[in-house]
Structure 1
Amino acid sequence: MPERVAQFITIGGRVQGVGFRPFVYRLAHEHGITGWVRNADGAVEIHAEGEPAQLQCFSAALVSEAPPLSAPDPLTIAACASGHAAAFAILDSAASNRADIHLPPDGFVCADCLAELHDPANRRHRYPFINCTQCGPRYTLITALPYDRPNTAMRGFALCPDCRREYENPLDRRFHAEPIACPVCGPHLQFVAGEETLDGDEAALATAVAALRAGKIVAVKGVGGYHLLCDASNDAAVATLRARKPRPAKPLAVMVRDLAALRAEVHSTPKLEAFLGTPERPIVLLRKRADSSLSEHIAPGLAEIGCLLPYSPLHDLLLHDFGGPLVATSGNLSGEPVLTENREAQTRLAHLADAFLHHDRPIVRPADDPVYRVIAGQPRPLRLGRGTAPLELELPVALPEPVLALGSHMKNTLCLAWGTRAVVSPHIGELDTPRSLDTLAQVADDLQRLYRVQATQLIVDRHPGYGYRRFVRDSGLPLAEIWHHHAHASALAWEFPDVDEWIVFAWDGVGLGEDQTLWGGEAFTGTPGRWQRTASFRPFRLPGGDKAGREPWRAAAALLWETGQVAPFAPEALYQAWTARLNSPASSSVGRMFDASAALSGVCSHASFEGEGPMQLEAIADIAAGDAVALPLERDPDGIWRSDWAPLLPMLTDITRPPAVRAASFHLSLAQALVEQARQLRAQTGVESVGLAGGVFQNRLLAEAAIDRLQATGFAVHLPQRVPVNDAGLSFGQVIEFLYA
């Protein structure tokens, strides 16, 4: 019989708060291993004794069969002296002065809990807050670390004897499941509509479903905040939601019960269905079927619908009982973080919702749903949120002191970084309201407190008008300022460490440039810390400045006026101000060029949300064939290669061409202009690695056209897949740029 030997195994990464110790305990029993497991210093330590073959199988299973919410690092295994352990035990955590904390994001409802949820014989049958160590809320529930029940929003719910037995049994699936609850001792639902209040899970749920079937809008409290729900197949209900919010055109997300329901509404693939079913349960943009039952008002003028599967037991019950897809859009006021508190939601959403489905489990901090889009064959994040954030990333070199990067004014996220670690927060939103700024301050405090790291310096965008500037002043901390597009380029470069030298195209709406103009169509060569602007577009002056982002006709007028043409749709007074250079900042923004194209093509002259014009333009371009217009490329006196957009104007204003053909030609023209710039820069530098960064490359049609043409010309092309390409990735890019600046 082989001799039993001992090993000391250390596992880092996300292995605490995700049921890893009971998983190890059960695995040890399965493989005949004795010894012990404990939490220590942010990692899991295991003393394992067994025959060599048993230990080999055990250590392999620690990674291959790891709990779905965990993200273990590679094992560190060392031989050690045998303790002649007779059994396997879970020990108390080892004390340490150094924190190496990995905060788990919120999880879905797992298959085991789902089976119990629908099992009439189970004591948690149809209980909306069922969970176990493999699933359920984490980030939105934790008030402090270590992650124990008294340090969560569940501290006010005393465990009943049955739950206590499960919680204390190492062989039970709910061993140390901190949010553990049941109908006897856990949270419950409450339905409120006007003067009517109904307590009790079944009564509240049934009444909410009846309201949805009647075409009502119900605000439902979930894991990270409230959703506004309505019947996704009811035109009147969706139109009412849009009118009340008001959200006349911005697309709405749809929650479907299961994959069969998904396939009835949109086109999917096995790969995408597997992605939708991951523990993160993201919203994924999918092409709508011609025979879909979904209301045309969900994404007017667009071919794709944002779809997600239920990720909490409450959502599963709602979808099961309702029997059809539901609109599930953020329960907030436009641009603000999602609402989380019952009374505040009922007050601030009273004009939007006909009824409320509350519960009494507190939400400690908001987390919106994450959003992905498939571009060039891969799902890529557009927004980080519940399940995907906090996003923990590893830095290429160590920081001397902890820093907190504050990101952008739009699509704001924060990034806390120390040592070789960086943590990106969930989506916060636009920093235009007091509540958004309050949430930014809360998330900044939470990240530092939970990870036990105190930032000694702030990193910000160089734009002086971003909403967080008062927070910066009040902090009293030293400040580092990073150029907007350098941060975009550096976030991209981090994802591909094997690339030594880059050509990066940073195309977006606007960001302050080094010459104090509004950049947004730039190409850089170099690497983080030494980016050189080497190409751009012919500049134009935007009448009204920031207003152009919501009024695409202003960008259209700018291009016409810049080339000596009239813009009959623009007021004469505005033209006079533009001529006098009053509130008309110069810009090279491709995002604003998209706005201009949308207006000139007759697609969108006034936008109800930023990006509406470009989104509508892409949607109609996708159904047409166009021809690229050659854009002259010359070097300016500063040595910057500049593409001239002027030849696009005759095509864009040609009313004999269908708008879809003009839109398609515009996309192809920009893709070709990008390739021509890349070729000139390759000839100049010898660099063949191209990166695409900035919000413009959320546009699938443009990104794929550019990638195809670049690859055909011999370039290696890179597009982010872990960090959002838009401003949501800017905070992390600021940290990377700071590292090398």
Structure 2
Amino acid sequence: MPDNRPAAGPVDISARKITLSGKVQGVGFRPFIYRLATQHRLTGWVRNCVGIVEIHVQGPVSAQNDFLSAVFTEHPPLAKPKLESDTAVACEQTESFEILNSLDAGHPEISLPTDLYLCDDCLAEMQNPSDLRYRYPFINCTQCGPRYTLIEALPYDRPNTTMKTFPLCESCKEEYENPNSRRFHAEPIACPVCGPSLQFCRAGQTIEGNDEAITATVEALKSGAVVAVKGIGGYHLVCDATNDDVIKQLRRNKPRPDKPLAVMLPAETNGLALEQDESDFLNQPSRPILLIDKHKLPALSPQLAPGLGEIGVMLPYSPLHHLLLDSFASPLVATSANISGEPVLTDGIEVERRLAHITDRFLHHNRPIARPADDPVFRISEGMPRPIRLGRGTAPFELALPFTLEHPVLAVGTQMKNVITLAWGKRAVLSPHIGEMNTARALQVFEETIADLQQLYQVKAEVLICDTHPGYTASRWAEKQNLPVHTVLHHHAHAASASYEFYCHEEVIAFTWDGIGLGADETLWGGETFLGKPGSWKRVASFRPFRLPGGDKAAREPWRSAAALCWQSGHPYPQIPEKDPLLRKAWEQGINAPSSSSVGRLFDAAAALSGVCSVASYEGQGAMLLEALANHKATHVPLDISESNDMLVADWQPLLAVMTDSSTEQAQRAATFHASLAHTLLRKAQLIRQRHGVSHVTLSGGVFQNRVLTELAASLLREENFTVHLPVRIPVNDAGISFGQVIEYGCGR
């Protein structure tokens, strides 16, 4: 028993109650407080409440002050405490410092813990043959392991998690109850005696036992099979990342003919030609996917990312991943186990039923997943890793609002890459990636996520915010609820989201370039420039509109956008045959041919006209292939900028001759296209600054995931003394829309 009595001598003893919020649950915070109080010879107690930690300390004032200072300087690396209150209270009858049971009461100030990687200490134990948890695929401690995906209710205690069905053995119980143990109140604590286990299934036959199931899985992978492997936030489809045949089989059966596949590399990256910032980013606790230049990676199948220069790479983050990679000794494909476009699957029975056309081999485990969490994806642009998708380990993601909301609101986002945002007071929480909202399962996960966030944070939305487009699934859902609904224009939300990190209360020039979003004039915007600030935008620039034959079909058939530009300008398009003899007549009559100013569709047209991509198997394929080709400098083609209704309008027509010039290499045409758009952006910014005196520029919308365009445009702007802002924390694509809806709503009140 440690001697934690106050120091002897004539000292004044007082007491204070300290309340901390922030990330203080699920990160080993209470045992840290216990050890810290003991070190400073203080008595009292610490306990979890609903989302907060309460501390009562007694002893000399100087020791209390030193203790409180150390709370913020020596806390566990994953903790982020925030002082809510610090008040003098009466002393209590106590001779030691204790950890009390959690209290399910009080005003909730909840910060949900995210899922964590396998820490070095647990990894060393898992690799130690003499350790109780040697090769145990569910090893964890207070500094690592699943959190968000196993929490069913708060406070974050074992009975409120999916681990409640696994009673602790005596050995685990001793660690769990020992404040000096690394596993003190590690809620997912387990060992081979009392914890979850693996099962390998094939053709109705099951292999039980952790080592036996891992051996069977590795043998299947080495034989050229695809295995569905249950992880922390869902299943992955896993196969040999160097085997062309198995990857072709996976693509054919999923079906996913061209879309890039992520790769999980062995934990040791020293042999790779990575930059230090890339290596550091891959090794952070969330273990995200980072897009890496192919040339920096080991020999991998060219089938992983056809026509692209980068591959999404991640390191193992769960014990099971480490065990599989150590045994397989080669990189593995690890792509979401789902029906394309749907959220990742989490239930073993559903996986076997719905993915039977892809594989008959499954590595299950019996630790339930409370909710799905797909892997987060980042790309380095302008020297900084920027999110493309938030997910496992990075979400729920909380941001402080620049205003105080009068009522809690729920922003339900948009149709593609959807994320929801729950906001109240000065807090906003972004959900993990949900995805495309065009399937029954996506709607189910969308509704479950809404219910989850409100239940876990103990906040009930009183106002709903949705996209102005009445046909979006999320917008239709919002209109059916018995709550007030506020609508926000798609591109206003983009502009507001991008402005958040910089100048919510100052005017900016906001470029919002993407695929499509319904505009105020009922046309499909996508190449807009706004002047103003959140809640007060004026559309000041765009592109010459064109009508999209077939409407929504144009997103997956770039030849339609190419045809539209050519028909509208009279330019021949010999590389793109007319698929339907009646299509042009319908287009001429305006039947199913909505008007658009979309830069995303301009990219599609350029890809089709240059022969790069006429039909896309995934969203943005043409633009991504075009970017991969644009790997050298090029001269730009000046685009005419005219004025119409007090708005600058750039004409894309000069690009058509360049993109259809077969005497010029595709790579040169691709580079010219990018350079021309970047110079057009600069010219618009210059003209707007001349008229309005604004020099701050923000970039948002899915088009600015394109690193070639973004970095060139930013460089040109800075050369002309503009200050350029590209979001670092929030995705520029539609995954940032729901948060932008909250900002637009709050600033416009």
Same fold (TM over 0.5): yes
Q: Is the 8 A contact 1:257 1:320 kept in 2?
A: yes
Pairing partner for 1:449 from 455, 466, 486: 455
Pairing 1:489–2:495 present: yes
Secondary structure class of the residue paired with 1:468: helix
Supply the distance in 1 between the matched residues of 2:367 and 2:233 (Cα, whole angstroms). Answer: 11
Secondary structure class of the residue paired with 2:513: strand
Pairing 1:274–2:254 present: no
Letter in 1 for 2:412: L
Pairing 1:44–2:50 present: no
Q: Is the 8 A contact 1:499 1:689 kept in 2?
A: no
Look up the match of 1:339. 345
Pairing 1:209–2:215 present: no
The aligned runs of 1:550-629 (5 Å cut-off) are 550-568=556-574, 569-571=577-579, 572-622=581-631, 624-629=632-637
Pairing 1:522–2:528 present: yes
Pairing partner for 1:164 from 169, 173, 181: 173
Secondary structure class of the residue paired with 1:684: helix
Supply the distance in 2 between the matched residues of 1:732 and 1:426 (Cα, whole angstroms). Answer: 12
Gaps of 5+ in 1: none
Look up the match of 1:439. 445
Pairing partner for 2:653 from 637, 646, 650: 646
Instruction: Call closer, same or farther: CA 1:22–1:677 in 2, change over 3 Å.
Output: same
Secondary structure class of the residue paired with 1:26: helix
Supply the distance in 2 between the matched residues of 1:44 and 1:573 (Cα, whole angstroms). Answer: 68
Supply the distance in 1 between the matched residues of 2:366 and 2:50 (Cα, whole angstroms). Answer: 33
Instruction: Please give the root-mean-square deviation of Cα atoms over the aligned residues, in Å.
Output: 1.9
Q: Displacement, 1:609?
A: 0.3
Instruction: Call closer, same or farther: CA 1:41–1:217 in 2, change over 3 Å.
Output: closer
Q: Displacement, 1:80?
A: 6.1
Pairing partner for 1:309 from 306, 311, 315: 315
Q: Is the 8 A contact 2:269 2:279 kept in 1?
A: no
Look up the match of 1:101. 110
Secondary structure class of the residue paired with 2:56: strand
Q: Is the 8 A contact 1:4 1:49 kept in 2?
A: no
The aligned runs of 1:35-184 (5 Å cut-off) are 35-49=44-58, 55=64, 58-73=67-82, 77=86, 86-94=95-103, 96-184=105-193
Secondary structure class of the residue paired with 2:552: helix
Letter in 1 for 2:308: L
Supply the distance in 2 between the matched residues of 1:734 and 1:2 (Cα, whole angstroms). Answer: 60
Look up the match of 1:676. 683
Instruction: Call closer, same or farther: CA 1:150–1:715 in 2, change over 3 Å.
Output: same
1:117-146 CA distances to partner (integer Å, 9 max, x unpaired)?
Answer: 111111111111111111111111011122
Look up the match of 1:658. 665
Pairing 1:242–2:248 present: no
Pairing partner for 1:405 from 395, 411, 427: 411
Number of paired residues? 736
Supply the distance in 2 between the matched residues of 1:671 and 1:714 (Cα, whole angstroms). Answer: 16
Q: Is the 8 A contact 2:290 2:378 kept in 1?
A: yes
Letter in 1 for 2:483: L
**More divergent stretch after superposition (186-195 vs 466-475):** 466-475
Letter in 2 for 1:400: E
Identity %: 55
Q: Displacement, 1:472?
A: 2.5
Secondary structure class of the residue paired with 1:73: strand
Q: Is the 8 A contact 2:104 2:155 kept in 1?
A: no
Q: Is the 8 A contact 1:380 1:722 kept in 2?
A: yes
Q: Displacement, 1:34?
A: 3.6
Instruction: Call closer, same or farther: CA 1:76–1:287 in 2, change over 3 Å.
Output: farther
Supply the distance in 2 between the matched residues of 1:702 and 1:477 (Cα, whole angstroms). Answer: 41
Look up the match of 2:435. 429
Pairing 1:711–2:718 present: yes
Q: Is the 8 A contact 1:140 1:366 kept in 2?
A: yes
Letter in 1 for 2:184: F
Supply the distance in 1 between the matched residues of 2:449 and 2:467 (Cα, whole angstroms). Answer: 18
Q: Is the 8 A contact 1:221 1:227 kept in 2?
A: yes
Supply the distance in 2 between the matched residues of 1:192 and 1:40 (Cα, whole angstroms). Answer: 42
Letter in 2 for 1:629: V
Supply the distance in 2 between the matched residues of 1:188 and 1:310 (Cα, whole angstroms). Answer: 19
Pairing 1:283–2:289 present: yes
Q: Displacement, 1:66?
A: 2.6
Q: Displacement, 1:489?
A: 0.7
Supply the distance in 1 between the matched residues of 2:430 and 2:58 (Cα, whole angstroms). Answer: 39
Q: Is the 8 A contact 2:414 2:475 kept in 1?
A: no
Pairing 1:667–2:674 present: yes
Supply the distance in 1 between the matched residues of 2:405 and 2:229 (Cα, whole angstroms). Answer: 42
Gaps of 5+ in 2: 1-8
Q: Displacement, 1:419?
A: 1.3
**More divergent stretch after superposition (393-402 vs 717-726):** 393-402
Look up the match of 2:240. 231
Q: Displacement, 1:599?
A: 0.9
> TM-score under structure 1 normalisation?
0.96
Pairing partner for 1:321 from 327, 352, 364: 327
Supply the distance in 2 between the matched residues of 1:557 and 1:524 (Cα, whole angstroms). Answer: 29
Q: Is the 8 A contact 2:523 2:595 kept in 1?
A: yes
Q: Displacement, 1:101?
A: 1.2
Pairing partner for 2:640 from 618, 622, 632: 632
Supply the distance in 1 between the matched residues of 2:525 and 2:310 (Cα, whole angstroms). Answer: 29
Secondary structure class of the residue paired with 2:269: helix
Q: Displacement, 1:73?
A: 2.6
1:311-369 CA distances to partner (integer Å, 9 max, x unpaired)?
Answer: 11111111111101100000000000000001000111111124100001111111000
1:386-411 CA distances to partner (integer Å, 9 max, x unpaired)?
Answer: 01111111111111111111101000
**More divergent stretch after superposition (542-551 vs 81-90):** 81-90
Q: Is the 8 A contact 1:522 1:533 kept in 2?
A: yes
Instruction: Call closer, same or farther: CA 1:699–1:284 in 2, change over 3 Å.
Output: same
Instruction: Call closer, same or farther: CA 1:450–1:383 in 2, change over 3 Å.
Output: same
Secondary structure class of the residue paired with 1:12: strand
1:476-519 CA distances to partner (integer Å, 9 max, x unpaired)?
Answer: 22211110000011111111147611110000000000000000
Look up the match of 2:469. 463
Pairing partner for 2:538 from 523, 532, 537: 532
Look up the match of 2:482. 476
**More divergent stretch after superposition (252-261 vs 594-603):** 252-261
Instruction: Call closer, same or farther: CA 1:632–1:193 in 2, change over 3 Å.
Output: same
Q: Displacement, 1:278?
A: 1.3
Instruction: Call closer, same or farther: CA 1:85–1:274 in 2, change over 3 Å.
Output: farther
Q: Displacement, 1:198?
A: 0.4
1:207-261 CA distances to partner (integer Å, 9 max, x unpaired)?
Answer: 0011111111000000000000001011111111111111111111000112426
Supply the distance in 1 between the matched residues of 2:175 and 2:529 (Cα, whole angstroms). Answer: 58
Pairing partner for 2:365 from 356, 359, 362: 359
Instruction: Call closer, same or farther: CA 1:182–1:517 in 2, change over 3 Å.
Output: same
Supply the distance in 1 between the matched residues of 2:104 and 2:260 (Cα, whole angstroms). Answer: 49
Secondary structure class of the residue paired with 2:414: coil
Supply the distance in 2 between the matched residues of 1:693 and 1:402 (Cα, whole angstroms). Answer: 26
Q: Is the 8 A contact 2:140 2:188 kept in 1?
A: yes
